[in-house]
Structure 1
Amino acid sequence: MKVYVLEKSVTLSGKSWEILQKLKQLQNQYVYVNDWIADIHDQVPPTPLKRIK
């Protein structure tokens, strides 16, 4: 299954049972898909790993 998150939309591609399972999983965290998109775009990328010598 693939999830494409654009600026104002989400595209889910895969088998129907996979998409339903993903939506049910997200239903516990978010009320609206718009909230999910906003949360993804507001995330700060993790700091890169540093090599310890």
Structure 2
Amino acid sequence: MKVFIQPKRIMVSGKAWQVQYLLKKYMQEYETVQDWIDGRPKQK
């Protein structure tokens, strides 16, 4: 599994179940993909 965070995008490479698991994990922490790129956690 590889994750590349670049200034304007995130590239995730791996098996389908690995990518789904990673996205579900980060959905709990970040509101949008742009927040993930910028490193801003979800506001509670």
So what's the TM-score if we normalise by structure 2? Answer: 0.85
Q: Which of structures 1 and 2 has the bigger CA Rg?
A: 1
Q: Where has structure 1 moved over 3 Å in runs of 4 or more?
A: none
CA drift of 1:39 comes to: 0.7
Higher strand share: 2
Q: Give structure 1 stretches of 5+ with no counterpart.
A: 41-53
So what's the TM-score if we normalise by structure 1? Answer: 0.72
Q: Give structure 2 stretches of 5+ with no counterpart.
A: none
Question: Percent same amino acid among aligned pairs?
Answer: 38
- Aligned-pair RMSD on alpha carbons? 1.2
Partner of 1:6: 6
Measured in 1, the distance between the counterparts of 2:5 and 2:28 equals: 19
Q: How many residues align?
A: 40
